Amino acid sequence: MKALFLVRYGEIGLKGKNRKFFENTLTKNIKRALLDVADCRIHQTYSRNFVEVVDGDAEAVAARLSQVFGIVSISPVAIAPLDLDEIKAVAKAEFEKITRPGVTFKVETKRANKRFPYKSPEVSREVGAHLLINIPDLKVDVRNPEIKLEVEIREHETYIYTRTIAGPGGLPVGVAGKGLLLISGGIDSPVAGWMSMKRGVTLEAIHFHSFPFTSDRAKEKVIDLCRELTRFGGKIRLHVAHFTEIQKELRLKTPERLTVTLMRRMMFRIAERLAEQRGALALITGESLGQVASQTMESINVIEKVTTIPVFRPLIGLDKEEIMNISRRIDTYPISIRPYEDCCTVFLPDFPATRPRLADVEEAEASLDIEALISESLAKTETLDITTNT
C-alpha cells in the first residue's frame, strides 16, 4: 500500500519571475528531508508538490515534511478520476475510515480545473448528499463541523482528504543567501538560527570556545544544538573558534567593567573575517534588546562599530518567555539548559557596563594586539560538518 501527500506552499506563490527558483529549491529540500526514506517518489506540479511513500512510513514522513520551511500544510490524500460518480465513491471510502455515530461534517470543494463540468458548490452538494444517504447517523454542520472533507479538482485528477497538517511556512532554506550564526549554547542563539532559516537563509555557525575555562561538554552541547537545527535546514558547518587567549588578555589588560563589551567586539571581528572567507553575507545573533548588559542599545551600538557586514537580530523584539516558547517548540530548549557554561559566562564582571562609551572602549583596546589575537583564533578554529545523523 502507498500513501500520497499533497504538499502546499504559501508565500512562494506570490513570487513573480523567480517563482520557479523558489519551487525548485523547495522540492530539493523535500528530497533532502526524505533522503533515507525507501521507495519515496516526489513530484512537483504548479503550486503543489506530491510525495508518495510506503503506507507504513506515512506518519514519520508527515512529521519530517512539517519541518521543511516553505511548506504551509500537508494532507494525506486519496485520488479519484475526473468523474463525479468516482469522486463520490472515493469520498465515501475516505469518510468511512474516520467517521463515528452522530458526527457532524461538511464538504468543501476547490475547482482549479475550470473545465470540470460541475462547479464547486455542486460538487460539495452532490458528495455531501451521497455521504448522508450511504453512511448512517451523520449530520451536516457548515459552520463548525467535526470533520471537513475536502475535494480538490485539478488538471488530471481529483484529490480528496479529511486531514491537514500545518507546516512551518516561511521560505525554503537556500533562497536567501548564507548567514553566519554566532551560537553560544544558550537558549537564544539557536532560536535566532531557526528564525533565519525560516526566511530562507543557509546557515553556518561559529562558536567561541575557551578550553579549559569552558569544558568539552559545552562544545558538545553546541554540536547537539546544531544537530537539532539540521532537521529544519540540512547540514550546518560549525566553526569552533579558539577564544582562550583573548579572554586571558581581556582579563589581564582591560577594565573589568568593559570586558563584556570588549569580548563581543572581538567575537564580531572574528566572525566577520570568517564570514568573508565563507561567503556569508550577514552575521546572525540571538540578541534581544535590553536582555543583558551587551544588549542595551548603547552596547549594541558600540559593539557593532567593529563590523561592516550586516548583523541580523531576529529576536530583537521578543521577550525571554517568547524566545523560550519557540525553543521548546523546536526542541532546542532541553539542550540549551544543560548546565555547561560557555565563554560568555566565564569571567563575567559583577557590574558590567550597560552604557559603554566608544572612546573608553577604544582606549581599553589600545593595550591589545587585536590583529594577532584574531589571527591566532582563526588559525586554531576547528571546523565540523553537522548533519542530522552525525
Residue list for the binding site: 182-183, 207-208, 264, 286, 295
Q: What is the 3-state secondary structure (H, E, C) of 80-143?
A: ECCCHHHHHHHHHHHHHCCCCCCCEEEEEEEECCCCCCCCHHHHHHHHHHHHHHHCCCCEECCC
Q: Between helices 188-198 and 320-329, what is the axis angle to 10°?
A: 70
Q: Which residue has the cell 516558547?
A: 325
Q: Between helices 216-233 and 188-198, what is the axis angle to 10°?
A: 20
Rounded to an integer, what distance in angstroms lies between the CA atom of residue 12 and that of residue 173? 12
Say if CB 79 and CB 159 are below 8 A apart.
yes
Binding residues for ATP: 182-183, 207-208, 264, 286, 295
Cell representation of residue 95: 469518510
Rounded to an integer, what distance in angstroms lies between the CA atom of residue 3 and that of residue 26? 20
Say if CB 170 and CB 306 are below 8 A apart.
no
